[in-house]
Amino acid sequence: MIETAKILLRYLIIISIFFIIYLLLFSTFLFKSDTVLFYRGIKLLFFELFLFFLGAFYLTIQKKSFIESYFASVATASSICLVFLTVFPVTVDRSITTFLLNTVNNPTISCKQGGISKENLKKVFIEDFFKREDAIGRRLNEQEVTGSIVKIKDGCFKITPKGRKLVSFFNLIKQYFIMKQ
């Protein structure tokens, strides 16, 4: 029983350290030029995995007996970090809901009753989200970076075969989960 508790504590410590380092890496200069948050997060995760595997190499040289739980902890921690990345930062970055809630929360644009009208919300959304935040430009850049579209002459964009596959996959997901188009 005590041995199991030691192993679980070791897991918890390694996973916590891994997760904290992952969060801290976002405040560094590493891969800062990546414009797609998801790609930066993946690169940071692989960078951290590299560091932790160097740690595993060191532990192997030192002939530590807990190398198996170290690898299992790192695998678990990297999975947690990947889920965290896709569920929170990437979703918030892409979320219209986040923008809408922040807008409704802004006291300078609300109605006398403490809210905001649907029409004013539409105006703010178009002005801020689409124009000032350049939502379309950001998404076009993101899709160019991923290879889903290419820019052709006269500022037009064309979908690539990779992009078509992605659209087919998204449509399959929408159909399976009965999502509106």
Chain segment 124-144, per-residue pLDDT in tens: 888 887 888 788 888 899 899
Could you write out the three-class secondary structure of 49-102? HHHHHHHHHHHHHCCCCCHHHHHHHHHHHHHHHHHHHHHCHHHHHHCHHHHHHH
Domain boundaries, the chain: 2-93, 95-133
Q: State pLDDT tens for residues 132-178.
A: 878 888 889 989 998 999 999 888 999 999 999 988 888 887 776 56
Q: State pLDDT tens for residues 77-110.
A: 999 999 998 888 877 676 777 787 878 777 666 5
Q: Would the pTM of this model clear 0.75, i.e. be above it?
A: no
Q: State pLDDT tens for residues 29-44.
A: 999 888 888 889 999 9
pLDDT at residue 108 in the model: 67
- Nearest CA to 51 out of 74, 85, 23 is that of 74
Which residue's entry shows tokens 């739980």?
Answer: 69
Helix/strand/coil for 105: helix
Mean pLDDT of the chain: 84
Residue 111 has pLDDT above 70, yes or no: no
Residue 181 has pLDDT above 60, yes or no: no
